[in-house]
Amino acid sequence: MRCAAVLASTALLSGCMQDYYRPEAVSPSDYGAPIEQATAEAMAQKYLLPRLKDPDSAKFNCGQINRGSERDALIYGGKVWSGYVLFCAVNAKNSYGGFTGNQPFTFVFHDGYLVRVYQAQGTPID
């Protein structure tokens, strides 16, 4: 009974993420449909804010979205993710109440979905 409740809640939570986050394989030569800057930034914030200690303190400084590719580090399989890439520096408070300083994040979008997020060069968050 307890196992069924855990599985049901997991399925429910993963269903909520499906509207904007879809980490599935795409061809390295397929960039998908373009995405607007404001939409990409909103999706990046929607993904990242719940994962921060103090989401209300977060300050995003994002660059221009461009077509491109990112590669997972070899330790994670070295897979290439193509699409529209957005680089953001995020400064938020940590659990001690101090700001962490700008932390780099890379978001890869494909056909209107967020398909990959990196916190460091080639290091995926998921």
Structure tokens at 76: 């994670």
Phi-psi region of 122 (alpha: psi -120 to 50; beta: other; left: phi over 0): left
Distance CA 87, CA 94 (A): 21
pLDDT tens for the chain, 126 residues long, are 444 343 343 333 344 444 566 666 566 678 999 999 999 999 999 999 999 999 999 999 999 999 999 999 899 888 999 999 999 999 999 989 999 999 999 999 999 999 999 997 667 876
How many of the other CB atoms lie within 10 Å of CB of 5?
A: 9
Distance CA 47, CA 122 (A): 18
Contact 114, 39 (CB under 8 A): no
Q: Which among 105, 104, 25, 111 is positioned nearest to 67, based on CA atoms?
A: 111
In this prediction the pTM is 0.77
